[in-house]
């Protein structure tokens, strides 16, 4: 019993360290893939890490009208991602509190970070940040239904919303390609793209005033705060992609405690996330950003897929 | 325990009398008496909850038709406790708020009467007592809604809507309860419940639908919600906190009373109707909350939204009961109560905060506010806590409710009954949609009002609320945090309240576990982990700054596209913040936009004036109530010939009516 607790602690710590590094590296990988396809050499995969180090060495700034919300928001964003990195089953099913963390909790802890950013934007008292906040809130509000319904559909099959047991049920089952599951995963994936601000919903590389959503919100941040936000966002991306790939292809995740299975789990996780990240950037190269008011249609589509998935999960059991 | 009841009633009556008669220290002393009265009721409720036995007391000489009959069940005690907590906070708050408004005799006496009646309604043990207290509650709150009528014509209109809706609702409730009492030959609820087994299905359903309509209108359920945003917005701060934190709850209490206690063998479709109403209410409430720019109107629509979620859980409970899933039914009922208590706590925090903002700036229009967090630091923090709680952000109490709702719906979908599955899927869709919209609404409510720069002189001249107002807001906000971090505080009380109605369904102190269903959550651990991570990251940031030799944070002008001077008017407003949602849901909300461009006579290339008007009036009010009212008015004009002012004619009408009644009754 005691050793199980110890091993879950080690697994949580390993996931945490993995997440801290994997976030920026995944960003670097996605940029690299993009530049290679576009015929450029591109920066090294480790470039985002160097960027973070460079930003961390600068002085913090704040706009004249900002309050404590502005300086607390990056902390909340990163802290929420770290907590989820330690407590959700990414590399191992046996992490701390694994029996008491469910998908809904993960979703709402992520929301804590999002809300912190939305508020920090309004705290600056500028038009751009307000615009970004309003748009991001709209996209977020449209994403949440799709995410929740997809989660419900997946939980229905397993009879629980506990994450570890959901992933475990995926390991145990032989029919991974049921219609309910596929529909739910597609819906979940679209929601992940929207939630993390990727194309076709938001262009992470843009600084064009009319099109930016997320970048407009964080315009006033500089130095270590900007580093924290970039870092936190990248961790959220990897976290959601990791959860998605564990739900879609659960193999490789450590189902037992021990150093070997944990190592295999980390390796499998890295592989899965890398594959999905490359897939996302391949998709991004070939896609244009949607007009802002077409985004809700996409997300409504994702929501509908989720509802269909719930119905087929109920009808086909 | 009779002494506690006596204390509640006597202190309450003293508060009414002191408010109505005294001119010296009117508000502090009546507020003190109200706090004593509410504390007495709260102690009584806690005793009933702790022992699990009913408290009964009756006095047949006071009222006709069964007399005053008090029978406090654990379920009623739960509602009394919630009302008492909100009432204590509102009374304390009132002592400070009275400097701004609500210091007059009529307002003071009505406030005391309103508070007392809120405490008595759930104690009622027979129809007579219930209806008596219910009417007192309706009338006293009506006076409070209209209390500012001399200065604000809007409050007269709001009071008129409220009067019609609340009296219509009370009429429907009276019809249902009196009908049930007539059938049982007794006004006692216990006798009605026993006699209900002999009631035919159609008659029971008719009574249920009448009661549902009446109670739903009190709970702000669509389409009977139109009074709520008007009345809650116009009522003074402590009154809107009481209305939203205690009065609307009693609508839900009534639905449970009639649907579960008095008529326990209801058919499945009753709960399907309740679910459907709940889903619609949640969606409509959330949409209007996300697009409102009046701070209190936003909060009022959010009340509708939350009551919708409560009805969703209540409907899921009824449906699961009828499909023989008692464990899910118990869980869903407990969820409904948790949602309800949570809502009372955070919404009264928010309404008290909005009242403080209104008192400090004289405005409820968020487009005129901004930057208040520097001028009103404590109010802004309590409002933030309330806003995060209503958005179900962990580790605040709203999150527990949202999680339980998801679990209830998930497990209710496990049933093989088609109706439950369809209702469950729609319920999840409604819950998911409202979740996102609520976040927009409350990021807007807090961000536009308290952050950024003040948009007008009013906002710039604001001042922090008085000490007693801050105490009340702070205490309620602390309750939101405490019940969020240690949900057992809430779930344990709810479980005791439901002792006679449902089997225990949730257990655990630090970890919430669903009994015999899969699901567990540890808010305590989650908050600890969040705090730890927060400290870690903050430490890292400080360390990095210090290592590079930066002692402070550089304060710079915000970037304005190369423009130097940025005025507060350039900030996003509440209207612009909600505009994307207005566009996305254009087909549902049907906003009214009007662009009027006039050109200079000499040249069409020059504009003389552009006028843009946009209004976002409630779509149900416009397309359901306005036509109905127009029809009614036309009809009234036509029958006006019957009423020509002649007294003889009216006497003749009276005689004719009497004859008709005699003929019918033989």
Residue contact B557–A63, C-beta within 8 A: yes
CB nearest to B403's CB, from A87, A104, A152: A104
Residue contact A108–B511, C-beta within 8 A: no
Tokens (6 digits) for A215: 């970048």
Least Cα separation, residue B361 to chain A (angstroms) = 19
Question: What Cα–Cα distance (Å) separates residue B544 from each residue in A23, A219, A261?
Answer: 20, 22, 36
Element (H, E) at B194: helix B189-195
Structural domain tally of chain B? 1
B521 in contact with A, Cβ within 8 Å: yes
Q: Answer whether residue B632 is part of any domain.
A: yes
A166 in contact with B, Cβ within 8 Å: no
Phi, psi angle pair for B506, to nearest 5°: -130, 140
Q: Which of residues 178-237 of A touch B (CB under 8 A)?
A: 209, 219-220, 224-225, 228
The stretches in chain B having pLDDT less than 50 are none
In a 3-state reduction of DSSP, which class is residue A162?
Answer: strand
Contacts of B553 in chain A (CB under 8 A): 59-62, 71
- CA separation for the pair B203, B1 (Å, rounded): 38
Q: Answer whether residue B360 is part of any domain.
A: no
| Nearest residue to A64 via CA among B448, B556, B564 | B556
A156 in contact with B, Cβ within 8 Å: yes
The answer to whether B50 and B494 are in contact (CB under 8 A) is no
Least Cα separation, residue B364 to chain A (angstroms) = 19
pLDDT digits (tens, 9 = 90+) for B440-497: 999 999 999 999 989 999 889 889 999 999 999 999 999 999 999 988 888 889 988 8
Q: Cβ–Cβ contacts within 10 Å for residue B117, how many?
A: 23
- CA separation for the pair B277, B447 (Å, rounded): 31
Residue contact A105–B394, C-beta within 8 A: yes
Tokens 């037992």 sit on residue: A256
| Model pLDDT, residue A173 | 65
Q: Answer whether residue B250 is part of any domain.
A: no
Residues found in chain B: 666
Residue contact B545–A63, C-beta within 8 A: no
- CA separation for the pair B61, B69 (Å, rounded): 11
Alpha-helix residue ranges (DSSP H) falling in chain A: 2-37, 47-56, 68-87, 103-123, 127-158, 163-172, 179-195, 214-217, 223-248, 259-285, 295-315
Residue of B nearest to A315 (CA): B416
- CA separation for the pair B127, B63 (Å, rounded): 11
A149 in contact with B, Cβ within 8 Å: yes
B506 in contact with A, Cβ within 8 Å: no
A115 in contact with B, Cβ within 8 Å: yes
- CA separation for the pair B302, B286 (Å, rounded): 6
Question: What Cα–Cα distance (Å) separates residue B324 from each residue in A14, B193, B205, B321, B532?
Answer: 46, 21, 21, 5, 45
pLDDT digits (tens, 9 = 90+) for B329-386: 999 999 999 999 999 999 999 999 999 999 999 999 999 998 999 999 999 999 999 9
| Nearest residue to A135 via CA among A192, A194, A205, A65 | A194
| Nearest residue to A243 via CA among A279, A287, A207, A276 | A276
| Model pLDDT, residue A175 | 58
Contacts of A124 in chain B (CB under 8 A): 452, 558
- CA separation for the pair B491, B510 (Å, rounded): 11
- Render B151-183 in DSSP notation, one character per residue: T-HHHHHHHHHHHHHHHHHHHHHHHHHHHHHHH
- CA separation for the pair B241, B108 (Å, rounded): 16
Q: How many Cβ pairs within 8 Å bridge chains A and B?
A: 258
- CA separation for the pair B126, B186 (Å, rounded): 9
Helix orientation angle between A103-123 and B523-547, rounded to the nearest 10 degrees:
40
Residue contact A123–B447, C-beta within 8 A: yes
| Model pLDDT, residue A176 | 60
Strand pairing partners for B181? none
Contacts of A148 in chain B (CB under 8 A): 406, 428, 431-432, 435
| Nearest residue to A81 via CA among B534, B522, B511 | B534
B537 in contact with A, Cβ within 8 Å: yes
pLDDT, averaged per 10 consecutive residues of chain A (317 residues), comes to: 79 93 94 91 92 92 91 95 92 83 88 94 90 92 88 83 81 68 89 85 75 86 93 94 88 82 91 92 86 87 89 78
Tokens (6 digits) for B212: 């549902």
CB nearest to A82's CB, from B425, B444, B533: B533
Tokens 């909600």 sit on residue: B578
| Model pLDDT, residue A78 | 96
Q: Answer whether residue B643 is part of any domain.
A: yes
- CA separation for the pair B29, B26 (Å, rounded): 6
The answer to whether B123 and B76 are in contact (CB under 8 A) is yes
A145: buried, middle or exposed (CB in 10 Å: 19+, 13-18, 0-12)?
A: buried
Distance of CA B37 to the CA centre of its chain: 22
The answer to whether A251 and A259 are in contact (CB under 8 A) is no
- From the candidates A141, A209, A239, A300, which should be mutated to test the interface with B, based on the most B CB atoms within 10 A? A141
| Model pLDDT, residue B208 | 95
ipTM of the complex: 0.95
Q: Which of residues 1-30 of A touch B (CB under 8 A)?
A: none
Can you give the residue ranges of every domain in chain A?
A: 2-315
Question: What Cα–Cα distance (Å) separates residue B620 from each residue in B46, B283, B293, B547, B585?
Answer: 41, 13, 18, 61, 15
Q: Answer whether residue B183 is part of any domain.
A: no
Phi, psi angle pair for B396, to nearest 5°: -85, 170
B440 in contact with A, Cβ within 8 Å: yes
| Model pLDDT, residue A2 | 58
Contacts of A239 in chain B (CB under 8 A): none
Task: Print the domain residue range for B630.
Answer: 623-665
| Nearest residue to B285 via CA among B94, B507, B434, B431 | B434
Phi, psi angle pair for B191, to nearest 5°: -65, -40
pLDDT digits (tens, 9 = 90+) for B372-418: 999 999 999 999 999 999 999 988 999 999 999 998 988 888 777 77
Element (H, E) at B512: strand B512-514
Residue of B nearest to A311 (CA): B425
């Amino acid at each position: 019993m005691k050793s199980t607790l110890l091993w879950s602690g080690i697994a949580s710590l390993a996931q945490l360290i993995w997440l801290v590094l994997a976030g920026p590296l995944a960003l670097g990988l996605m940029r690299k893939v993009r530049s290679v396809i576009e015929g450029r050499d591109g920066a090294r995969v480790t470039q985002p890490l160097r960027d973070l180090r460079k930003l961390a060495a600068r002085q913090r700034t704040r706009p004249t009208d900002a309050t404590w919300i502005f300086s607390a928001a990056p902390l909340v964003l990163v802290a929420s991602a770290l907590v989820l990195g330690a407590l959700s089953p990414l590399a191992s099913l046996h992490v701390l509190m694994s029996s008491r963390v469910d998908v809904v909790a993960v979703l709402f802890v992520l929301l804590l970070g999002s809300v912190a950013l939305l508020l920090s934007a309004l705290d600056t008292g500028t038009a751009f940040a307000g615009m970004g906040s309003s748009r991001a809130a709209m996209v977020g509000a449209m994403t949440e239904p799709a995410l929740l319904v997809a989660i419900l559909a997946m939980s229905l099959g397993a009879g629980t919303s506990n994450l570890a047991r959901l992933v475990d049920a995926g390991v145990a089952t032989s029919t991974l390609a049921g219609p309910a599951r596929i529909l739910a995963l597609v819906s979940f994936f679209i929601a992940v793209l929207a939630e993390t601000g990727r194309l076709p919903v938001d262009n992470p590389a843009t600084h064009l005033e009319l099109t930016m959503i997320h970048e407009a919100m964080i315009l006033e941040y500089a130095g270590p705060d900007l580093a924290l936000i970039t870092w936190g966002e990248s961790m959220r991306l990897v976290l959601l992609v990791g959860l998605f790939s564990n739900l879609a292809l659960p193999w490789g995740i450590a189902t037992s405690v021990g150093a070997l299975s944990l190592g295999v789990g980390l390796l499998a996780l890295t592989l899965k996330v890398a594959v999905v990240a490359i897939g996302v950037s391949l998709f991004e190269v070939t896609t244009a950003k949607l007009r802002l008011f077409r985004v809700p249609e996409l997300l409504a589509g994702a929501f509908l897929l989720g509802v269909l998935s719930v119905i087929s999960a109920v009808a086909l059991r | 325990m009779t002494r506690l009841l006596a204390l509640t009633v006597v202190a309450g009556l003293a508060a009414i009398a002191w408010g109505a008669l005294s001119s010296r220290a009117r508000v502090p002393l009546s507020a003190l008496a109200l706090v004593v009265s509410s504390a007495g009721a709260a102690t009584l409720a806690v005793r009933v909850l702790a022992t699990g036995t009913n408290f009964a007391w009756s006095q047949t000489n006071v009222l006709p038709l069964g007399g005053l009959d008090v029978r406090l069940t654990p379920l009623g005690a739960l509602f009394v406790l919630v009302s008492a907590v909100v009432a204590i906070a509102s009374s304390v708050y009132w002592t400070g708020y009275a400097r701004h408004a609500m210091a007059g005799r009529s307002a003071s006496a009505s406030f005391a009467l309103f508070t007392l009646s809120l405490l008595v309604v759930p104690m009622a043990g027979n129809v007579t007592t219930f209806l008596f207290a219910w009417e007192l509650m309706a009338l006293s709150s009506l006076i409070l809604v209209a209390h500012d009528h001399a200065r604000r014509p809007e409050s007269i209109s709001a009071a008129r809507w409220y009067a019609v809706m609340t009296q219509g609702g009370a009429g429907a409730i009276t019809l249902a309860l009196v009908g049930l009492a007539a059938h049982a030959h007794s006004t006692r609820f216990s006798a009605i419940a026993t006699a209900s087994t002999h009631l035919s299905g159609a008659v029971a359903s008719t009574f249920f639908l009448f009661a549902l309509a009446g109670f739903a209108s009190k709970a702000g359920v669509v389409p009977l919600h139109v009074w709520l945003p008007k009345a809650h917005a116009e009522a003074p701060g402590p009154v809107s906190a009481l209305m939203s934190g205690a009065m609307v709850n009693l609508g839900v209490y009534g639905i449970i009373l009639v649907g579960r206690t008095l008529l326990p063998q209801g058919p499945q479709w009753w709960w399907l109707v309740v679910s459907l109403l709940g889903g619609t209410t949640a969606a409509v409430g959330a949409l209007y909350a996300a697009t409102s720019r009046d701070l209190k109107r936003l909060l009022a629509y959010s009340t509708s939204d939350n009551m919708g979620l409560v009805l969703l859980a209540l409907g899921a409970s009824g449906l699961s009961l009828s499909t023989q899933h008692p464990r899910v039914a118990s869980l869903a009922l407990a969820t409904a109560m948790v949602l309800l208590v949570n809502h009372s706590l955070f919404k009264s925090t928010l309404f008290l905060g909005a009242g403080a903002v209104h008192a400090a700036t004289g405005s409820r229009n968020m487009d005129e506010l901004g930057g208040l967090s520097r001028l009103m630091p404590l109010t802004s923090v309590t409002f933030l806590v309330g806003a995060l709680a209503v958005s179900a952000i962990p580790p605040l109490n709203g999150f527990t409710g949202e999680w339980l709702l998801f679990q209830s719906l998930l497990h209710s979908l496990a049933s093989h009954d088609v109706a439950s599955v369809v209702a469950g899927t729609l319920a999840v869709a409604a819950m998911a949609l409202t979740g996102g919209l609520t976040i927009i609404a409350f990021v807007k409510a807090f961000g536009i009002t308290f952050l950024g720069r003040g948009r007008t002189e009013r906002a710039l001249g604001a001042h922090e609320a008085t000490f007693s107002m801050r105490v009340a807001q702070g205490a309620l906000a602390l309750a939101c945090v405490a019940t969020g971090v240690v949900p057992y505080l809430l779930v344990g009380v709810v479980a005791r309240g439901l002792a006679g109605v449902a089997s225990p369904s949730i257990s655990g102190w630090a970890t919430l576990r669903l009994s015999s269903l899969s699901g567990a959550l540890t808010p305590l651990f989650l908050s600890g982990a969040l705090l730890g991570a927060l400290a870690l990251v903050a430490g890292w940031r400080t360390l990095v700054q210090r290592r590079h030799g930066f002692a402070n944070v550089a304060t710079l002008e915000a970037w304005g596209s190369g423009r130097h001077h940025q005025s507060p008017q350039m900030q996003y407003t509440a209207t612009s913040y909600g505009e994307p949602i207005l566009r996305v849901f254009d087909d549902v909300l049907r906003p009214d936009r009007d662009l009027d461009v006039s050109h200079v006579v000499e040249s069409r290339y020059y504009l003389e004036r552009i006028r843009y008007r946009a209004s976002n009036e409630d779509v149900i009010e416009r397309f359901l109530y306005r036509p109905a009212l127009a029809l009614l008015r036309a009809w009234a004009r036509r029958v006006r010939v019957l009423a020509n002012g002649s007294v003889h004619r009216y006497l003749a009408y009276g005689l004719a009516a009497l004859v008709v009644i005699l003929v019918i009754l033989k």
